[in-house]
Amino acid sequence: MDKQISFADTAVQACPFPAYDALRDEHPVYLDPVTGHYVLTRYEDVRRALLSHSVLSNRTPFLGDRWSPEANRLFETEGWLPMDTLVSNDQPEHRTYRSLVDKVFTTGKVASLEPRISEIISELIDGFVAQEEIDFIRDFAIPLPMYVIAEQLGVRKGDMALFKQWSDAAVESTGPVAPERELALAKTLIEMQLYIAQEIERVRVFSDDKLLSQLAHVEVDGRRLSDRELQSLILQILSAGNETTTTTLGSGMRIMIERPEVAESIAVDGSLAKMLTEEALRTATPLQCLWRTALEDVRFGDSVVPAHSIVELRFGAANRDPGHFDWPAEVNLNRDNSNSHLAFGAGIHLCIGNQLARAELRLAFEALTRRLKNFHFSRGADSCKQLEGYTPYGLRELWMSFDRRRTARC
């Protein structure tokens, strides 16, 4: 390694893969000279870290309750102060929340949503099919997960623009927020809380089969979620679920444009949409990393991470580890261990929305290739604009064109 790598470097963030290869080989436990984090890049190390919740805590300075006293007061007086429930929590409290939420996010629940997800996908394709050029992110990848979750939270169609602002604010609130922006952000989130509170009141009286109603009524040992807990969970679902699914839809489409044979294979055999889903998650992992706090000295191979350090789990590097995946940078629809990627984490914090996200991605890729063909970038080298930031990886714009398929597949 000629020069010191840091993940604080925006050039490394834009394309982290050469850095991953260098570190995985030479420094699998790497002390980042700028952030001071211990960075893990090998599949086995990242996986072991995810499973070591008793010594690696999810309570870190990056996620969870870290608002200023002023913003705290605003939440307390006008809304509900966000609290640690799942992703920024440890055992035993995490287990309490997780067992409640697990009762709602079931395989059966996701299966029951599939027909509606397919309808939303069809409506979105109908909306742009006559256009010569689209921004796939704006016209499809953003609205799909947003509409799916909005309906489940009782958000009305006419309020979708508002919901988009709230969902963006939820994502923004998970990153470093400038002090002058914090109060405005808190106000936007409180607006959402007040809207959701009305819905919670309604479904407590008239329950239905939507997620919000199920979360409001779910019980473990006679315990139900309080309003504050429900509000915190919803914030987490929005911040964790929308942008990540959007990004993966964009990555899947990019693969189909760059490798037309992938789109054609799925058009011939729709069941391969599942494989594209896993390969997009693996090769273009939408959340490149998350963190843990070491509660004691923790050994990885020959290295020891000292107690109290921040450990950075690089999912994006683990998912391209040649020690686990053959020819890891290649998208391969026949790969037999594709779904062992760590894009959704593993262990007690395994993404609760993974089945929902997988269903949306699979149904989307299947429908897009069934109805459309000849996907092309429409603006040459300017067709793709990348997301910026420490953790996300993917596109924020994808300008493309396509042809309609005249003969529908059965």
Interface with ligand HEM (CB under 6 A): 58, 86-87, 98, 149, 236-237, 240-241, 244-245, 248, 286-287, 290, 343-345, 349, 351-353, 356-357
Of the pair 226, 374, the CB lying nearest ligand HEM is at: 226
How far is Cα 311 from Cα 16, in angstroms, rounded to an integer? 17
The distance of closest approach from Cβ of residue 87 to ligand HEM in the complex, given in angstroms and rounded to an integer, is: 4
β-bridge partners, 300: 303
Of the pair 212, 356, the CB lying nearest ligand HEM is at: 356
Residue number, nearest CB to ligand HEM: 353
Of the pair 74, 331, the CB lying nearest ligand HEM is at: 331
Of the pair 7, 344, the CB lying nearest ligand HEM is at: 344
Per DSSP, the residues of 164-208 read: HHHHHHHHHTTS---HHHHHHHHHHHHHHHHHHHHHHHHHHHS--
The distance of closest approach from Cβ of residue 227 to ligand HEM in the complex, given in angstroms and rounded to an integer, is: 18
The distance of closest approach from Cβ of residue 98 to ligand HEM in the complex, given in angstroms and rounded to an integer, is: 5
The distance of closest approach from Cβ of residue 344 to ligand HEM in the complex, given in angstroms and rounded to an integer, is: 5
Of the pair 58, 402, the CB lying nearest ligand HEM is at: 58
Mode of pairing for the β-strands spanning 289-294 and 56-57:
antiparallel
Of the pair 311, 351, the CB lying nearest ligand HEM is at: 351
How far is Cα 344 from Cα 399, in angstroms, rounded to an integer? 28
How far is Cα 41 from Cα 26, in angstroms, rounded to an integer? 10
How far is Cα 310 from Cα 297, in angstroms, rounded to an integer? 11
How far is Cα 318 from Cα 328, in angstroms, rounded to an integer? 10
Residue type, 239: S
Residue type, 288: Q
The distance of closest approach from Cβ of residue 63 to ligand HEM in the complex, given in angstroms and rounded to an integer, is: 8
How far is Cα 76 from Cα 232, in angstroms, rounded to an integer? 13
The distance of closest approach from Cβ of residue 81 to ligand HEM in the complex, given in angstroms and rounded to an integer, is: 18
Residue in 246, 265, 247 with CA at minimum distance from that of residue 366:
265
